[in-house]
Structure 1
Amino acid sequence: MPTPGSAAVEVEHARRLRAGLWLGLLGMLIFAGTIPMTRLASGSNEAPQLPPVFVAIGRAGVAGLLSVAYLLVTRAPWPRKSHWTMLFMSALGNVLGWPLLLGLAVRRVDAMHASVITGLMPLATAAVGALMLHQRPSRGFWAFALLGAALVVAFAAWSGAGRPQLGDLLLLGAVIASSIGYICGARVSSGPQGMTAEQTISWVLVLALPATLPVLVMQWPTAPVHPAAWAGFAYVATCSMWMGFFAWYRGMAWGGALSVSQVQLLQPFVSILLSVAVLGERLRPATLGFSIAVMACVYLGRRMSVGAPRPRS
């Protein structure tokens, strides 16, 4: 018979799981704006705006300066010795790899195309999480994750994204880099000795400043740029690169990296809708059908067990 104390612990655990899912959803919504805003900031090969390298790396320089201020104001402690490797890996994946590869890709493909290809990220994140966090997702969990990913691939093929091209390869590399960065950041912000989500992403960005700040300064454009491009840059620098991770890392720490990562299955379709609103790209009706199917996969996948971490040998 459960004691009152154990019942209270279970209630609190369930509350944190729900809160983790909602925070993950908030982070996903913020990140969904990354692709259309990156496209808005950098333009296309036919109508270029800000240089892709400046958008990709310079935004991390801005977020890094904001992180320095945040860490000083909050008097955040220094990371533990065991955290530095994961922070460095997260910086390589989320601060350098993902934005640079994405920035180069959206010069070659439109935002809808990029949104569909990056829909593979939940599966990549779940696979990396299973390996790095020693978790045991159930067969049902993997079945719905694979089904959701297959729907994304089918949508890409239907919309003409099935042909291999450089933009797709760049996007695939961006997905892998970001997935590794997500899990490494989640490892730092979880556990009894972990840092808070806000401290984690701030230290990641500060660690990358020696690489990002020189790019921000030296690549600052001298030619006139459309104000909308600067608005896109401001969004990816403050929201995509910084504040979105506040919600995302805490969501994965509370709700579990494998489970929370599945809300990313909705991200390509949110990005597509934003591409219509922000960029004026044409929305095809079949997108709604794929959106409903993917949402069903997310709901059913959430009902599948994830399992406890495997004991390390």
Structure 2
Amino acid sequence: MTKRFDIKDETLGMWLGVIGVALFAVTLPMTRLATGTQAAPQLSPWFVTLGRAALAGVLSAIFLLATRSPRPASHQWKPLGMAVLGNVIGYPLLLGYALRVVTASHAAVVTALLPLVTAAVAAWVLHQRARLGFWLCAVAGSLLVVVFSVLRASQSGHGFGFEWADLLLVGAVIAASFGYIYGAQVTPSLGAERVICWVCVMALPVTLPATLFLWPTTPIATASWLGFVYVGMFSMWIGFFAWYRGLALGGALRVSQTQLLQPFLSILASIPILGEPLDVVTLGFAIAVVATVVIGKRLSQPQALASSAAAPLPAAARTGGR
């Protein structure tokens, strides 16, 4: 039976979804701010990756203790572990190294493919089927990203080829997709907020001592520390609270559409935070890539989601973030 939603809950859910997406969108410029560039490096990508997870892990432990949350069941540990590998380690680490080479606006275009890649992972892992039109849109979006990458590499004087950082960005998207899907498997039974909290707490025995070991010994700019605090508190933790709660209140199908705003918000946020110019070419490709996502979602949605707005993702799995 399809779950019915109250009008007020739907409205609140949509606004929470927009808040979550806005918080995730700022991850790209804030990560670049934290890591610096190749010419002026700041915090190492390893420190940012492990440190942001450690910060979120400490906050998660406090939350779980304060809410007296029960421990996950034995069968839930494996999906949570996969979410740790994908969302705590893989995505932020690869993203951090890539953002030392490419701009946040550039990365925003490539990571705009996250919803489509997540759907492909869901089809493989969760055995969900989609119509041919959906996969044609996925291929079209991928080709757009390839053309964009080749064009930017050529404009940068690297020849008509790819930036090596684009491979890191693709890897980050794949890692995040697997993390979202496996985390989504336990969301209905464990609870939306507790999924990200247990993921961060599971990683804490590794991330906390590693953060202390990797603590920078050279002076770091205050702006870089602010970027680090942001990705730890908001990208890794608070953003998921707003996002998953929005999905629960407003319905996963409807609220998930707000993630289409993320590439644009990332590009806009990069202007005041990093001083990056508004690149018309980048913006144009971003619009084209997001268009393939919109058309793909309209042509085909997973059967499980079509029958129930509260079903296990991929709708909720298509979060960003980060």
TM-score range, shorter chain: 0.7 to 0.9
Shift of 1:285: 2.2
Which residue pairs with 1:205 in the alignment?
Answer: 200
- Asked if 1 retains the 8 angstrom alpha-carbon contact of 2:247 and 2:256, the reply is yes
User: Residue 186 in 1 paired to residue 184 in 2?
Assistant: yes
SS, match of residue 30 in structure 1: helix
Match of 1:42 among 35, 38, 44: 35
- Asked if 1 retains the 8 angstrom alpha-carbon contact of 2:26 and 2:266, the reply is yes
Match of 1:31 among 24, 40, 52: 24
Shift of 1:189: 0.7
**Aligned-partner Cα distance in 2 for 1:130–1:82:** 21
TM-score by length of 2: 0.81
Q: Which amino acid aligns with 1:241?
A: M
- Asked if 2 retains the 8 angstrom alpha-carbon contact of 1:144 and 1:300, the reply is yes
**Aligned-partner Cα distance in 1 for 2:136–2:108:** 22
SS, match of residue 224 in structure 1: coil
Which residue pairs with 1:96 in the alignment?
Answer: 89
Shift of 1:279: 0.4
Which residue pairs with 2:303 in the alignment?
Answer: 308
Distance 1:274 1:180, change over 3 A: same
Which residue pairs with 1:255 in the alignment?
Answer: 252
Identity across matched positions, percent: 52
**Aligned-partner Cα distance in 1 for 2:33–2:70:** 37
Match of 2:275 among 277, 280, 286: 280
- Asked if 2 retains the 8 angstrom alpha-carbon contact of 1:266 and 1:294, the reply is no
- Asked if 1 retains the 8 angstrom alpha-carbon contact of 2:109 and 2:285, the reply is no
Q: Which amino acid aligns with 1:270?
A: L
- Asked if 2 retains the 8 angstrom alpha-carbon contact of 1:122 and 1:145, the reply is no
Q: Which amino acid aligns with 1:276?
A: I
SS, match of residue 50 in structure 1: coil
Q: Which amino acid aligns with 2:174?
A: I
Within 5 Å, give how 1:19-168 maps onto structure 2. 23-160=16-153, 163-168=161-166
**Aligned-partner Cα distance in 2 for 1:98–1:106:** 12
- Asked if 1 retains the 8 angstrom alpha-carbon contact of 2:21 and 2:258, the reply is yes
**Aligned-partner Cα distance in 2 for 1:151–1:21:** 29
Q: Which amino acid aligns with 1:283?
A: L
TM-score by length of 1: 0.83
User: Residue 228 in 1 paired to residue 227 in 2?
Assistant: no
**Aligned-partner Cα distance in 2 for 1:270–1:63:** 23
Greater mean deviation of Cα atoms: 259-268 or 87-96: 259-268
**Aligned-partner Cα distance in 1 for 2:41–2:132:** 46
SS, match of residue 29 in structure 2: helix
**Aligned-partner Cα distance in 1 for 2:255–2:84:** 21
Distance 1:238 1:25, change over 3 A: same
Q: Deviations over 1:205-228 (max 9, x none)?
A: 000011100122112223221111
Q: Structure 2: which 5+ residue stretches go unaligned?
A: 155-159, 306-322
**Aligned-partner Cα distance in 2 for 1:219–1:173:** 24
Q: Deviations over 1:270-300 (max 9, x none)?
A: 2122112210112222344444444544444
- Asked if 2 retains the 8 angstrom alpha-carbon contact of 1:32 and 1:271, the reply is yes
Q: Deviations over 1:140-169 (max 9, x none)?
A: 443444444444444434433773343122
SS, match of residue 45 in structure 1: coil
Q: Which amino acid aligns with 1:125?
A: T
SS, match of residue 189 in structure 1: helix
Shift of 1:303: 3.3
SS, match of residue 234 in structure 1: helix
Q: Which amino acid aligns with 2:135?
A: W
Q: Structure 1: which 5+ residue stretches go unaligned?
A: 1-5
Distance 1:155 1:273, change over 3 A: farther
**Aligned-partner Cα distance in 2 for 1:181–1:99:** 12
Distance 1:305 1:124, change over 3 A: closer
Greater mean deviation of Cα atoms: 56-65 or 161-170: 161-170
**Aligned-partner Cα distance in 2 for 1:166–1:154:** 14
Q: Which amino acid aligns with 1:72?
A: L
